[in-house]
Amino acid sequence: MADIHDLLQKPIFTEKGLSLKEKENKIIFRVKKSANKSEIKKAVERLFKVKVTDVNTINISGKKKRLGRFAGKTSDWKKAIVTLKKGEKLELGEGA
């Protein structure tokens, strides 16, 4: 298994993600493109000391971008939606 801190790149704080956290006890992370569900589950459990019941992953395609006459594309990435066991709580710094 890869290093935990390389595997879980950062949590994602969006309106939808925060509502999932409150209502359904789910946390969204940006993860390494090569990570699989079992690695993500082990990493979250070891890093945050919580029990994980389910992991859903989504591959996000990069968007096409232009800057003047130059065309390019943002990077592809992977998103993981981690469901925590009922009664478990995970407090991450959501910012101001």
What confidence tens digit (pLDDT) does each residue in 33-84 have? 999 999 999 999 999 999 999 999 999 999 999 999 999 999 999 999 999 9
Q: Rounded to whole angstroms, how far apart are CA atoms 5 and 3?
A: 6
Q: Report residue 67 as tokens.
A: 């800057």
- Structure confidence at residue 88 as a pLDDT band (50, 70, 90): confident
Contact residues for 19 (Cβ-Cβ < 8 A; gap 6+)? none
Which residues constitute the domain of residue 17? 4-64+72-84
CATH number at residue 77: 3.30.70.330
Whole-Å CA distances, 42 to 14, 33, 72, 91: 24, 16, 35, 18
CB 1 within 8 A of CB 21: no
The answer to the question of residue 92 being in a domain is no
Instruction: Give the chain's domain count.
Output: 1
| Encoded amino acid at 16, one letter | K
